[in-house]
A = this chain, B = another copy of it.
């Protein structure tokens, strides 16, 4: 699903749930959709406040609404800023690596992880939603530069 398609499908879902459309929320959606990776409420505010005046409260309202409808994923990097990621129902989201040395965030094209989770879930008799995980470690550059610990 393209970014614009995501925006469209979110609007549709919200509409079906009895929510009105509005220009401010539309701007939040677009900013989320076109962000390069997970964005925080603050980043959205900085961007939208200058661009076309969307208030903080509206941004938090919109994010909460999206989260409640499972239209976004919320990531916690442990720095006190929740990050949001558009949730595309047609595919499982990527996981992320938070480098403990350079503090950068990388999408991780994992292969084995999700299926292992599902096998464990099945064995344990629980359901685990595919959702982005934040793994801690060292990114490739920092790993190469590190004292081969």
Contact = CB atoms under 8 A, between A and B. Distances in A.
Contacts of A78: 74, 76, 82
Given A133-B133, A136-B128, A137-B127, A113 B120 contact: yes
Interface residues of A, number: 36
Interface of A: 74, 76-78, 82, 97, 100, 106, 108-113, 115-117, 119-121, 123-129, 131, 133, 135-140, 143
Given A100-B129, A129-B136, 13 more contacts: A110-B117, A111-B123, A112-B116, A113-B113, A113-B120, A116-B116, A121-B137, A125-B140, A126-B138, A127-B143, A129-B137, A131-B136, A133-B135
